[in-house]
Amino acid sequence: MKIATVVGARPQFIKAGPLSRAIRSAHEERWIHTGQHYDEAMSGVFFRELGLPEPDYRLEVGSAPHGAQTGRMLEGIESILKDDKPDAVLVYGDTNSTLAGSLAAAKLSIPVVHVESGLRSFNKAMPEEINRVLTDHLSAVLFCPTDVAVTNLKREGIDNRVHLVGDIMYDAVLEYSARAKEHSDVLERVGLAPGSYCLATIHRAENTDSAANMTNILEAFGKLDRLVLLPLHPRTLGYIRRWGLESMLGHPNLITCAPLSYLNMLRATSEAFAVLTDSGGLQKEAYMLKVPCLTIRRETEWIETVQAGWNRLAEANAHAIISEYGKLGKPRRHPRLFGDGRAAARMVQVMERYFSKS
């Protein structure tokens, strides 16, 4: 079995680690790195820290509007697939890299394997929602992390190619948590004690691209009863500067820093009082690490975490954020929503069965 894996963004590097090791234990895999995330803090450090395989191909597409970026990726991936002739193309999540890899493979009649299928925010204004829906409908093998994801696909008429395997990010959290506690010194470097702070990340276009939303979010962070550690995504920092909000980053309640490596993020998440984010992946990691989360969006793909009481939603309004933050706490129950940490092994078994028949 020969697999071409398309990655391009920070969350995909994390998810790809456990599955790549499982694939390469008995099969051939080639990595195509689109370069969607391309700088050292968002890409290079992950490969070294997590022991990821060096990409076989680098497209170095970089930043661009959605159409231009996806088009450049599509052209580069198509050329590679024509030469490499893999048995399948494996994609993760919901980025432009995901959609480009799926389209390139489908047009060449190469089966698409989608990890993290079935997620729905039901907000078509989100580029990620468009990417995940299209990818699911192009895929030959769909790996779902939760029962809700399976149900979402059934509603769209997809039920014969669907496999409930658990969440690959839980594999990564279990694998790397001990290493993070041992090797990360992020709290010591910024002078924070466990439980004394909130960890925040903001990067979704619906927030960053709105001066009003970013103003409200930063205002709310400045008024919370704990310090807020805010690693700044390059895109987020760019918009803060565009909107002239740099002075708000100087609030005494805010501790800003460059994007953290995965091990540093794991430790910062695990020892936070709460997580404040618009990231889909960080919502899950907070749940897996039993840390309350406030999602600064009107909806979430991970409604299971809200139903379990560990996640709350707040629109980008200072009053709403502060109000919902005040309701955060640790429920007594912590249902096992994301499997048992063996998603990678199950995925390889499913692919072996699928390709033995084709």
Go through 94-126 and write b for each residue having 16 or more CB atoms within 10 A of its CB, e for each that does not.
Answer: bbbbbbbbbbbbbeeebbbbbbbbbbbbeeeeb
Look up the pTM and report it. 0.90
State the pLDDT at residue 38: 55
Q: Residues, the chain, total? A: 358
Give the catalytic positions in this structure.
203
Q: Please check whether residue 13 is in contact with residue 45, taking contact to mean a CB–CB distance below 8 angstroms.
A: no
In angstroms, rounded to a whole number, what is the distance separating the alpha carbons of residues 149 and 346?
Answer: 17
Share of the chain above pLDDT 70, in %: 97
Instruction: Please name the residue that has the structure tokens 């803060």.
Output: 240
| Torsion angle of C-alpha atoms 299, 305, 310, 312, degrees rounded to 10 | 10
- Identify the three-state secondary structure at position 51: coil
Instruction: Please name the residue that has the structure tokens 């691209």.
Output: 209
Q: From 137, 152, 52, 135, select the one nearest 98 (Cα to Cα).
A: 135
Domains present along the chain, CATH in parentheses: 2-167+340-357 (3.40.50.2000), 179-325 (3.40.50.2000)
Reported as a single tens digit per residue, the pLDDT across 246-297 is: 999 999 999 999 999 899 999 999 999 999 999 989 999 999 999 999 999 9
Reported as a single tens digit per residue, the pLDDT across 104-133 is: 999 999 999 999 999 999 998 888 999 999
In angstroms, rounded to a whole number, what is the distance separating the alpha carbons of residues 108 and 256?
Answer: 45
Output the six-digit token pair for 120.
């729905």
Beta carbons within 8 Å of 250's beta carbon, 6+ residues apart: none
Reported as a single tens digit per residue, the pLDDT across 241-258 is: 999 999 999 999 999 999
Reported as a single tens digit per residue, the pLDDT across 178-228 is: 889 888 999 999 999 999 999 999 999 999 999 999 999 999 999 999 999
E strand or H helix at 89: strand 88-92
